Each structure stands twice: as C-alpha cells, then as structure tokens.
Structure 1
Amino acid sequence: MTSDWQRRCAERKQAQLESIPAEWIIQCPPDNQLNVQDVPAKCSLLSAHELEITDTVDVDVILQKLRTAEWSSFEVTTAFYKRAIVAQQLTNCLTEIFVEKALARSKELDDILKTTGKVVGPLHGLPISLKDQFAIKGLETIMGYAAWIGRYADSDSVLVEILNECGAVPFVRTNVPQTLMWGETYNHVFGRTTNPFNRYMTPGGSSGGEGALLAMRGSPLGVGTDIGGSLRIPSAFCGLYTLRPSYERLPYCGAVNALEGQESISSVLGPMANSISGVKIFTKAIIDSQPWNKDPLVTRKEWSEKEYKLEYHGGGKQLCFGIMWDNGVVKPHPPLQRAMAMTKSALEAAGHKVVDWEPHRHLEIYKNSETIFAADGGDDYRIQCELSGEPVIQTMSPQEDAHESVMDEPLVKSLVGKPYHRSALELWQLHKEKRDLRKSHLDYWQATVSRTGTGRPIDAIISPAVAYPAVPHGMNTDSFYTTLCNAMDYTTSVFPVTFVDSKLDDPHPPHEFYNHEDEAIYKLYDSKLFDGCPVGLQLIGKTQEEEAVIAMTEIVDKALKNFKMVKGMS
C-alpha cells in the first residue's frame, strides 16, 4: 500500500514533469549509455545558434554580448533553458522548473536595455541556476523533504533579491539530498541525480544537481552551498570551478537549510561555473551590492582590488604553493596524484615555487568537526521526516544495480560514535577546541615562512578536494579534504585539471593503511571503472581571502593550460 508521503512525492514529481514544455521532450539514449555529454548537440532540440550560446563557457563573453544586445536575454535564457531540460531528462538534476516566469523576466530586461540603452546591473540578462535552498517568492522550496511539498515562499531570499537587482535571470532550481548532509544527491521527492560524464557515478552533493546541470552546460553560472564540501565535491566530480568563501562573506539570509542554529561551522554559498571568470564575476557582483545592508550576518568588507592583485602575496610574481599529497587520513587515488604532479610541474614551469605541505593535527580537526555536526544526535533530520512519515535515508546506494560495497562503516561513524545528544556545555567545549585548533593551524601555516624563500609563508595549499574522482552511487564516504577548510574557515576554490586515463592511472601498490576507510578506498580504485571522469583539485587560502584565492586560481589555471599546450595534453 502506498503511504501518504509516497503519494505526495509521486504527485510532486509528476507536476515537475508537466512543467516541461512538451516540445522540449527528447528521445533519450538508453540507460546503458553512461556518458551523455554529446546528447545536447545530437538531440535536435537546440539550434546551431543555441548550441553556440550554451557552449560559451566564459561568462564574461556572454555578459558582453548581452550588454551590447548582440544576444538578447530572451534568446540566451531560452537556449540555456532548453539545455537545462535536456540535462534534466538525462541526469535528473532539477527541482523547480518555471519557464514562463523566467522568460518573462528576460523579456523585461531586453525591453529596459532597448528603451534606456542601459543595463540593469553587472549580471544583466544572465540566466543563473540556484540550488534548492534559495527561496523564490511564489515557488516551493522543498529541499528534499516530503513534508516541505506545498511550502511556498512569501518572499525572496536575500541572494535572489540581489541577483534580481544585478539584472540576473534566476531560471531553474537544482536537486539536493534529503537532509543536505550527504556528499551525494538523492531524495524521495525528486529522486537521484547522476553524473553526465558517467551516469553510473554520482555528481557529488549536496550541490549535486548544480554539478550535473553545469557539467551539461545547462547553465552558465550556478549557486550552491557548502558546509563540509558541498560546493567543492560536485565541482571536482563534474569538472567545474567553484569558490567556498569564508563564513558570512556572502549573504545566506532567507535561504532554507539543515542544522539551523549550528553556527560554529557555518554553511556558506558560492558560485559554480565552467570558467573561473564566472566565479570572479559572481563574487564581485554580490559583494559590490553591499549585502551587509540586507543580511545582518554578512561581513562589511568591500571587494578589494588590492587583494585581487595579490599585494599581500608578492604581487603574484613568484608564489610559493604547498602541495598536500596526502592528508594522513585517506590517501588519494592515482589520478589525483597525477593531477597534483601536473599542477606542480605547471606552476614551476611558470616560475613559481612548490614545496610539500605536511598535515597538522588533521585527525583532531576531523573528529572535532564531525562531532559538532552530530551534536543533536540526528534530531534535526528526524523531526523533518516525521512531519510526513517518510523515513530518514540511511544510504545513497541504489536498491538495484548497486556497486559492490567495500566498506561497512565510514570512518566518521567510528570517530563520532553512536548518536548521542551533546549537552550545551559539551558543545561549548567542542567550539572552544575548534578555536584552539584554528589558532594552532594558523601558527603552523605562518611558520612555513622559513621554507618558502619568498619572505612570506606559503601563499596557498594545493590538495585534492576528495580522495577519488566521481564514484559509484552510494560510495562517496571521504569528505575530510574539504571539511578541513570548513572547520578552519579557509577560503577555498576548486579547479579542473584532467580526466582519468586508464592508460596512465594504473593502481598503485598497497601502502600502510591509516584506517579501515583508507583501506576500503584503496580497494575501490579501478582505472577502467573511473576512466574518463573529471579530476579536480582545490586551492586553499586563508580566512576572508576570496579575492586572493580567485586570483591565485586564475594563475594556476593559466599555468596548467600553458603546460598542457606545451606538452600536447588535453
């Protein structure tokens, strides 16, 4: 017998299907076609001009064409909407689809430009996708919970307010996992999102809908959130650029969330894009809007060209990067190690210095942060699920065609132990411990001045964002490469480096395993299974260094592209 929550989920999923224009339904390839990146060009839905628009990954180029009216917002929004709907049919990446509302907004912006000769703002006419947390007036914000079906927002979240003032066109919202606190993307309402590079694999989470959509070029610029890697893991798995800013640099007010009230490790929002230009343009536009006048938690810090020009980092002339080959908790898979070696060679060829980074108190930081996340004993998730009667999802593994499991219990469960409610005093002690760990880690970083030869400490750290490329559904257990930055509040980017190559990325001999998760992840690696998946890395800067991290990521990205050109690499 179908329960009421299951009926509500089925009806909501059907309503989503009915919101797609019938003429945009395509003939999908069979399920056994794993890579679907070529479908938008072959499905006959998009014209040649629409393919040209959506294949333009440099957001600055799109904005320039919009400003000069070479491209209208209506045609750009239509093109990306069509491609987003193709992506939806192939990867199940969307939640809210509101074609008429978005196209009406694009026409309004075109009329303003035509009538006044002026753009509305720095994002004039640009369609932007949003993770299913950012409330839009009149639309549901379900966030993966059956009980939230039918909850319509009576106002815009602050980010949406600002995007509208900047001239953007919010046009779709994207899928998330139930509870948000998964590194994958599945819920009972909208189902499972898959990775378009290999649909047997996860696009990551919790911003996995954004990751899949952007990987399909179904959006020029998306917005996700990150409390333990939720921007960076999907970006690494899907070949994208992103920025995890420091706490309260960008406005979160009015967005729905999990673990609300837990403010020791804050969730942050950030951009995701197929170009680093998109990351910079979004970040600067939002900061230039003075978001502290709308969100009382936002730090009153204007965009700094001085910091973007790296005046505190030697003007960017000779930077010194630390490479974290291994975090001492989980050893990265061979493609990640090759990507780090490529990045080191590229930076050295560009005149920069690279030294090894040795982990500092990582297991203590990992245990502290995960214990903070679990301090309520899981009440937050249970309460929301009990409102409808739906069960709390216990695994991201599919019921059918699940990959063979190689680990019974993630390391985090061993560290945190059984569900247990922390008292207020116990939680305060965890917060105090985190502050002490942040100070210790900062001091350790500052002390690297003795090794750099630049007169400065290491400018940034290069590391994996996750220990492996995109994994089969249900297999993403590693999150500490990213959670480290959330706990220490380090501004962090992700950038694509290469793809798994089964001819180059042979399994490495067994090493002395740090723990049972390290052993399980080692055994998971199969070069043929991962072949063709994107490989990305993260660049870690210090707290509130958004401008500098963007600039250093541009330097690394340029160095890698030049290096691959010289070496004849793709």
Structure 2
Amino acid sequence: MLPAGSSSAIHWRQIVSEKLRVDYAKIPRQWRLETHVIEKARTTKQIAGSFIEHLLDPETRNITSLDVQDLVAAMANGSLSAVKVVTAFCKRASYAHQLSNLLLEIGFDNALARAKELDDYFESNGKLFGPLHGIPVTLKDQFHVKGLETSMAFVSWIGTFEGKRGTGKERVFESELVRELWSLGAIPIGKAPETNNNILGYTRNPFNQGLSSGGSSGGEGVMQALKGSVFGIGTDIGGSVSMPAAYQGLFSIKPSSGRLSFKGVANTGPGQQVMPTVPGIMGHSIATLKLVFQSLLSTEPWLHDSHALPIPWRHEREYDPDSEQGYKPAFGFMSNDGVVTPHPPIARALRIVHEALDESGYQLLDWKPPSNNESEELHGPIARGDGCPDAYEAIKMSGEPIVPEIDDVFPGGKLMPPLPLPEYEKFVIHMKDFRNRYHDYWMSSAGKTHTGRPVEAVISPVTPYAAVIPGKFRYSAYTNSLNVLDYVSIVIPVTFANRDIDQVSHDYKPLTNEDRINMELYDAEAHDGAPAAVQIFGRRWTEERLLSMAHLVVDALERYAQRHGRMV
C-alpha cells in the first residue's frame, strides 16, 4: 500500500487507486461480478431486493434472508454453522460492494477464521459462544477493528492511524464497542464509508438510485438494505444513523449518550463533549435492535469506558401489558414541527401510523413543543463551534477536494475561525434551557392524557424526505433536535413513495418561507419507490421503554395492513 502523504509527495488519486486495487484483491475470484452485471446495475433504478437476490445461489439467498434470532437458533441446533453463515454474508457483502461501492475495508479472511473458531467452540462445548454467536456485522469506518485500517474516508489517513504514522496502533488497536461485539460472538466482516467521499464516490439509494442514501452513515445504510450483513453500527450527531435508516427502509436506534460505548472510535471534533456523537444500530426488525442493544449492555461497558453510564438493561422499564393491565400508553403526534412540512410520501406514512394507532385504541396528542427553530440555532454552533480544523487538516494534507456536502462548513474552501469560548458557552446555556423547557412541556402532557401519565413517546417525521435528491437536502431539525435534547430515537419503515398517490395538495399553504423552498424540492417522479419512514422518540435514557413502544407501533401497523390489505 502506498503511504499517505502531502499533496506534494504522492497525488491523492494514486493513493486511492492503490487502495482500491488492494481492496479488490480481497474479494475471492469466484465472488467477482462480471462487468456487464455491474454496468447493468448502474443503469437500473432499484438494485435492492430481486436484482441482487437473482445474482445469488439459493443457499446464500436463503441464509441471508434470515434475521438475527433465526440465525442464532439455527446455529444453536446445528442446522447452520458459523462458517456457512459468515460465508453467505461475506459473499452477499462482496456483491453489494461491487454494485454500490460500499466497503472501505474488507475483512472476509479474518471473519471466516473467527467463524471456524466459533464452530470449534460449539463442537467442543455444545453451546454457543454468546448471544450473537456467528452473526456477521458491518460498521461505519470510524470503528477500529484489528486487522483493518480506519480512514474515515480521508485519503490522508490511508496507511496511518488516524492520520499519524509510527504509533504502533495501525491495524492492532480496537474500539471498545468492537471488543464487546467480538466477546458476544458477533463477527465484523467489513467497514462502510461516509455517503460521499473521494475514495469510493457517492453512495446512492438502492431502492431508487437517482436518490441519496442519506448521511453520514449512508454506506452502512445501503449495506443493510442490500443485506450484506445482519446488522450494522453507525454514528450519529445530527441524524446520521436515523436518516440513512429511513431512506433505506430500515429500523434503527439512536440512543442517548453514555448508554453505548464510544471509547476508541475515530471522530472529528473529539473534544466536543457537550453534545457527543453516539453509536447507533441499524437492522431489519425491532427485535434485532433490542437483542443487539441488550447484548452490548450485558458486557458492562462502564467497566472499560469511564464515559459509559453504569446502567444495565432494565427489564422493569419495558412495557408489559400483563403487569400494567388497564394501562394503554398515549403517544404524542407531530405531523409537522411548525417550520417545515414533510413531503407527501412522509405525510402519508404519518397518516398511516396515526390511523393504525387510533384504530388500535391508542390516544394521540398533538405535539407542539418548543420550536425546532431553536434546536437549529443550537446544533451547528455546538457541533462545529471549533470550525472543524481536524477535518480541514486531514483533507488538505492529501490535496483531495472538499466534497459538496460540507461546502457550507468550509465556505470558499477555507477554514472558519472558532467561536470564542464565552460565545460558545452562551449556546450551551441556551441548550440547557431548551432541554428544561422541552422536559417541562413533555411532563405537562400528563394533564391531557386519559391515563394521567405523560405521553410515552412521540411520533414524528425523520426528515421531510422519502430519501433526497442529491444536492437538495435542506432541513434536518427533525433529527438534530433529538441530538440537542439527547433523546432516544427509533426509526420505523412504513411504506414507499408512489408518484400516483403522493402529490402536493392543491390547498397546501407553506408554514414558513423555508417550508415553501423545501416543498419546491419535491418531485413525485424522482422520489417514486423510495422508502417512507417515521421516527418514534422518547426522553433521555429511555431505550428499554422506547423499544417497547416501537414494538406496539409495529404491531399496530401490521394489524392495519391486514385490515386494509396494504399500506394506503
């Protein structure tokens, strides 16, 4: 591998070319797709589902159709081996990568070696190694995995440890959460990129390749949509797990800070701890999110990470209809935040959820909390108050161009000066006040519910978009407000955009000028086929309870679909 260096040493394109060559060599020859298949994928609107599945042999297709619980059960009864499971997902991940450029790091060899160790353990001990025994996982390329590099898609980080040489940590250092995954029996098979980067290019939506996969954990979102692993781990500071999950029709959970370990994870702005980046989980069911989250907590991360809260999984916080007889949870419902109206596919998804919950007998309260205008004012200065000099330095070190998605962070390609500390502290004080007022509003809902308790959770858009046309993303307050509040969020897929149904109403009146501009970005034809999702969010550190509430929503949607024949 050519070493990374300054633009005067080796041109960044040479470094990228060599990395891509080395990575491609890690794909077994029998898993390499023919050129005509890849070319066809480039011109096919949807490659998720039947397109990729038709490329697979029956055994690989069958194994990769199973969720975590079924795979673990099959390995527990001996009908599947860890080697078979990992082989199937590595093969499918290699296809997904060739179709969509999804893997910055490929770890198939190490994964298969670990699978063999787990099979030997099972044969010798007659039991599984852990609750995630033999389960293939992919992660956003911020997590350090032994045997693999971590570049975060910075060209200057290739061949280094977070941009530095000679640290002794290259390919041997491991993030705490990755250590926990290994200890649970999970097997990392590769790492996915930022949505747009100068190594792999732009990651498009596999349900409609004219649209974006969302960011910044977009590569992991597409890997999950193409089922190249059983679940994925991303990172989130403004919706970077929630948005890709929503745009790819996935379930996800963004926890509050401190519940999952972020120790030893590469990140920009690592000194910013007022509103920390958190790990998030993407998968194909609420059951998967719960199992992975609960399993990670079972490792007691607080014993290894001073920033992890000593809060184990709390069964008593889950909703149990048997022990809470006569109690029917109430939900808040936010059809819009008073600033920006969701596009027609998302508005329809919200109506479906509202009707499903209403038909199932749940009370829904209109939710009009402190304005997202405030959270928008707070999020940027707190998250990027330092001007992002580390990211700027990493980009300039290689000479690679700044991708369009962060042009606003570096206007004119220049580094912005940091906020003075007193000014930064004013934003923090405002954030604390915003959190307190939002908390007071939430608690006041007890006076409006039939139960006499505050609402358990709130239903809202994830973003205004059923995916987004590249270059036309404007509004993220539905998600970044939850980072400002440090609330828990779970994404639930509902339906798909339909050009024949999802039209802007003739009586639509913009809420604000921003709403008018944002609605003008909607194109029913361009968005056709994109997944449409909602999110359900709860107060800080309520992950157990919110997963129960999300399960109630999914059950209500299933009953709704049975009654009406389809999601309408």
Q: Does TM-score exceed 0.5, indicating one fold?
A: yes
Amino acid of the residue matched to residue 548 of structure 2?
A
- Secondary structure of 2:104's counterpart equals strand
Amino acid of the residue matched to residue 17 of structure 2?
A
Where does residue 218 of structure 1 map in the other structure?
228
Confirm or deny that 1:319 pairs with 2:339: no
- Secondary structure of 1:538's counterpart equals strand
Confirm or deny that 1:130 pairs with 2:139: yes
Contact 1:93 1:208 in 2 (8 A): no
- Secondary structure of 1:271's counterpart equals strand
Deviation of 1:317 after TM superposition, in Å, equals 4.1
Quick one: distance in 2 between partners of 1:313 and 1:200?
49
What percent identity do the matched residue pairs reach? 35
Deviation of 1:515 after TM superposition, in Å, equals 4.6
Amino acid of the residue matched to residue 301 of structure 2?
P
Alpha-carbon distance change, 315 to 268 in structure 1, aligned in 2, over 3 angstroms: farther
Deviation of 1:203 after TM superposition, in Å, equals 0.9
Where does residue 51 of structure 1 map in the other structure?
61
User: Can you list the C-alpha shifts for 1:457-482, whole angstroms capped at 9, x where unaligned?
Assistant: 11110001011111222222321100
Where does residue 153 of structure 2 map in the other structure?
144
Amino acid of the residue matched to residue 474 of structure 2?
T
Amino acid of the residue matched to residue 563 of structure 1?
Y
Quick one: distance in 2 between partners of 1:228 and 1:313?
36
Quick one: distance in 1 between partners of 2:548 and 2:187?
27
Confirm or deny that 1:387 pairs with 2:397: yes
Contact 1:186 1:396 in 2 (8 A): no
Quick one: distance in 1 between partners of 2:226 and 2:417?
41
Alpha-carbon distance change, 395 to 540 in structure 1, aligned in 2, over 3 angstroms: closer
Quick one: distance in 2 between partners of 1:281 and 1:502?
37
Where does residue 343 of structure 1 map in the other structure?
353
Contact 1:91 1:195 in 2 (8 A): no
1:487-498 equivalence runs, <5 A: 487-498=484-495
Quick one: distance in 1 between partners of 2:326 and 2:506?
38
Give the counterpart of 2:190 among 172, 179, 182: 172
Contact 2:370 2:434 in 1 (8 A): no
Give the counterpart of 2:54 among 32, 42, 65: 42
Confirm or deny that 1:238 pairs with 2:256: no
Where does residue 428 of structure 1 map in the other structure?
425
Alpha-carbon distance change, 316 to 15 in structure 1, aligned in 2, over 3 angstroms: farther
Amino acid of the residue matched to residue 32 of structure 1?
T
The 10-residue stretch of structure 1 (10-19 or 77-86) with the greater mean CA deviation from structure 2: 10-19
Deviation of 1:424 after TM superposition, in Å, equals 1.6
Where does residue 355 of structure 1 map in the other structure?
365
Deviation of 1:356 after TM superposition, in Å, equals 1.1
Contact 2:210 2:526 in 1 (8 A): no
Alpha-carbon distance change, 240 to 317 in structure 1, aligned in 2, over 3 angstroms: farther
Give the counterpart of 1:156 among 161, 174, 178: 174
Alpha-carbon distance change, 311 to 438 in structure 1, aligned in 2, over 3 angstroms: farther
Where does residue 22 of structure 2 map in the other structure?
15
Amino acid of the residue matched to residue 21 of structure 2?
Q
Alpha-carbon distance change, 231 to 346 in structure 1, aligned in 2, over 3 angstroms: same
Deviation of 1:510 after TM superposition, in Å, equals 6.5
Where does residue 186 of structure 1 map in the other structure?
196
Deviation of 1:309 after TM superposition, in Å, equals 2.8
Quick one: distance in 2 between partners of 1:24 and 1:287?
36
Amino acid of the residue matched to residue 32 of structure 2?
I
1:394-413 equivalence runs, <5 A: 394-395=404-405
Alpha-carbon distance change, 248 to 313 in structure 1, aligned in 2, over 3 angstroms: farther
Where does residue 87 of structure 1 map in the other structure?
96
Contact 2:268 2:388 in 1 (8 A): no
1:508-523 equivalence runs, <5 A: 508-509=505-506, 511-523=508-520
Quick one: distance in 2 between partners of 1:209 and 1:95?
9
Confirm or deny that 1:294 pairs with 2:290: no
Confirm or deny that 1:484 pairs with 2:496: no
Contact 2:319 2:549 in 1 (8 A): no
Where does residue 279 of structure 1 map in the other structure?
289
Alpha-carbon distance change, 127 to 247 in structure 1, aligned in 2, over 3 angstroms: same
Contact 1:320 1:454 in 2 (8 A): yes
Quick one: distance in 2 between partners of 1:333 and 1:313?
40
Alpha-carbon distance change, 448 to 500 in structure 1, aligned in 2, over 3 angstroms: same
Give the counterpart of 1:96 among 105, 122, 127: 105
Quick one: distance in 1 between partners of 2:126 and 2:540?
40
Quick one: distance in 1 between partners of 2:176 and 2:147?
15
Contact 2:466 2:527 in 1 (8 A): yes
The 10-residue stretch of structure 1 (373-382 or 144-153) with the greater mean CA deviation from structure 2: 373-382
Confirm or deny that 1:76 pairs with 2:122: no
Quick one: distance in 1 between partners of 2:352 and 2:537?
17
Unmatched runs of 5 consecutive residues or more in structure 1: 177-184, 398-408
Amino acid of the residue matched to residue 68 of structure 2?
V
Contact 1:310 1:548 in 2 (8 A): no
User: Can you list the C-alpha shifts for 1:193-216, whole angstroms capped at 9, x where unaligned?
Assistant: 111101111111111111101111
Q: Output the aligned Cα RMSD.
A: 2.2
Quick one: distance in 2 between partners of 1:346 and 1:186?
37
Where does residue 217 of structure 2 map in the other structure?
207
Amino acid of the residue matched to residue 207 of structure 2?
F
Confirm or deny that 1:540 pairs with 2:540: no
The 10-residue stretch of structure 1 (120-129 or 511-520) with the greater mean CA deviation from structure 2: 511-520
Quick one: distance in 2 between partners of 1:304 and 1:159?
20
Give the counterpart of 1:456 among 441, 444, 453: 453
Amino acid of the residue matched to residue 108 of structure 1?
E
- Secondary structure of 1:431's counterpart equals helix
When the two structures are aligned, how many residues end up with a matched partner? Answer: 543
User: Can you list the C-alpha shifts for 1:212-254, whole angstroms capped at 9, x where unaligned?
Assistant: 0111111111111110001100000000001000011101101
Give the counterpart of 1:378 among 388, 391, 398: 388
Contact 1:157 1:254 in 2 (8 A): yes
Quick one: distance in 2 between partners of 1:534 and 1:77?
28
Contact 2:269 2:384 in 1 (8 A): no
Quick one: distance in 2 between partners of 1:310 and 1:479?
34
Alpha-carbon distance change, 138 to 162 in structure 1, aligned in 2, over 3 angstroms: same
Contact 2:12 2:398 in 1 (8 A): yes
Which TM-score applies when normalising by structure 2? 0.92
User: Can you list the C-alpha shifts for 1:83-137, whole angstroms capped at 9, x where unaligned?
Assistant: 1111112121211112111101111101100111021111111111111111012
Which TM-score applies when normalising by structure 1? 0.91
Where does residue 462 of structure 2 map in the other structure?
465
Quick one: distance in 2 between partners of 1:396 and 1:371?
15
Where does residue 269 of structure 1 map in the other structure?
279
Alpha-carbon distance change, 509 to 561 in structure 1, aligned in 2, over 3 angstroms: same
Amino acid of the residue matched to residue 39 of structure 1?
F
Quick one: distance in 2 between partners of 1:433 and 1:391?
35
Amino acid of the residue matched to residue 457 of structure 2?
A
Amino acid of the residue matched to residue 525 of structure 2?
K
Where does residue 248 of structure 1 map in the other structure?
258
Amino acid of the residue matched to residue 362 of structure 2?
H
Deviation of 1:383 after TM superposition, in Å, equals 1.7
Deviation of 1:39 after TM superposition, in Å, equals 2.1
Deviation of 1:14 after TM superposition, in Å, equals 2.1
Quick one: distance in 2 between partners of 1:170 and 1:233?
23
Deviation of 1:508 after TM superposition, in Å, equals 2.2
